[in-house]
Structure 1
């Protein structure tokens, strides 16, 4: 069966806020509670992961990720509740977009 696949992203003033790769990075941060471990799991440099997280936080009034530097109790990186909500909202939007595109594609195929 033929299906349409697409990649969407959300921009803020011309800058990418969220996209498929960034959502995957957020999920890995949530899973590992570490930017370094998340980057490694995605075969990405720490520097790139940090830049992506910083860009997402900068585009948002509410941070998606909070980092705590090391110390007596150690550091860690945590996804905020808002970050978790954005994952769900983005994935819902992406699923709806693909469903719409497939409906349109099937309608086109039937009209031929």
Structure 2
């Protein structure tokens, strides 16, 4: 699947991985999760999705997806904390951001 899908954590790929983790093994059914530009690759997806996945591999996929969700939540919490702490310095950040070569992300550092 990785050779056909450029963003393995995109919505379509994530839905496909969830289906695989939940026991789906029909490549045609899994490929139906393709959206937007990935729909054009359905034949390639079906070919890439052929194969055998055992229960251990399904468990590992589920575990990894759960861990990715947890880490994404933690990143969001940290982003909120940083934004909260920087809110009182917004004027300084905007002033630094106005300097050529200094982007907002660098100004917040």
**Pairwise TM-score range, normalised by the shorter structure:** 0.3 to 0.5
More strand by share: 1
More helix by share: 2
Larger Rg: 2
Larger relative CO (CA 8 A, sep 6+): 1 or 2? 1
